[in-house]
Amino acid sequence: MTGIYERYGFVIFRQARRILGNEEEAWDATQDVLVKVLRGLAGFRQESSLFTWIYRITTNHCLNLLKQRRSAVLEELLEGNLSDPKGPNPEHEVLVDELLQVILGRFDRTTQEIVYYFHVDGLPQEKIAEMLNVSRKTVYNKLERFKARCAKITSRLRREA
């Protein structure tokens, strides 16, 4: 194990950090990947280099973690748990950031603002409508479309998992 860790540990970590965007998660993923590599080493068929094999294990493991993370974020949204009445919570903030990155990019700017103000800031629809100079009905409709799209994405992720 020591030889594999010394030779490939940093490569695994660097790839995990690049994909996950978080150093702590990358270290956890590095440990998980090393365990997978050690368990699978006897079955390694040398169809590619050991480096390539380990790199693919790392990439696939991290992509699976991202898929799980996305699914959890979408669940949080659908359960209405994005606005946190108990105050700041680092884990909660990570979920919100993930939501914004994964889903909101697919919507127009007005919808992005409405979703953020409603789910993250916890503002009422009337206040959002006033701030954005749109009707409350527009705010409601955009939130409903967003929620429907999230439900569709969540359903698809569940089937893929």
CATH number, residue 52: 1.10.1740.10
- CA distances 100 to 9, 19, 27, 93, 139, Å, are 31, 17, 24, 11, 18
The total of structural domains in the chain comes to 2
Residues 55-90: pLDDT tens digits?
Answer: 889 988 987 887 777 666 666 655 655 555 455 556
pTM (two decimals): 0.51
**Closest to 64 measured CA to CA, from 104, 8, 25:** 25
Q: How confident is the model at residue 139 (pLDDT cuts 50, 70, 90)?
A: very high
Q: Is residue 140 predicted with pLDDT exceeding 90?
A: yes
Residue 147 maps to which CATH number?
Answer: 1.10.10.10
Task: State how far the Cα of 46 lies from the Cα of 68, in Å rounded to an integer.
Answer: 30
**Can you read off the two tokens belonging to residue 61?**
């493991």
- Decide if 80 is inside a domain: no
Q: For residues 157 and 70, is the Cβ–Cβ distance under 8 A?
A: yes
Last-in-domain residue among 69, 101, 119: 69
Query: Which residues make Cβ contacts (< 8 Å) with residue 147, sequence separation at least 6?
Result: 77, 78
- Decide if 77 is inside a domain: no
Residues 118-131: pLDDT tens digits?
Answer: 887 788 999 889 88
**Would you call 59 exposed, middle or buried from its count of C-beta atoms within 10 A (0-12, 13-18, 19+)?**
middle
- Decide if 123 is inside a domain: yes
User: Which domain, by its residues, includes 62?
Assistant: 2-69
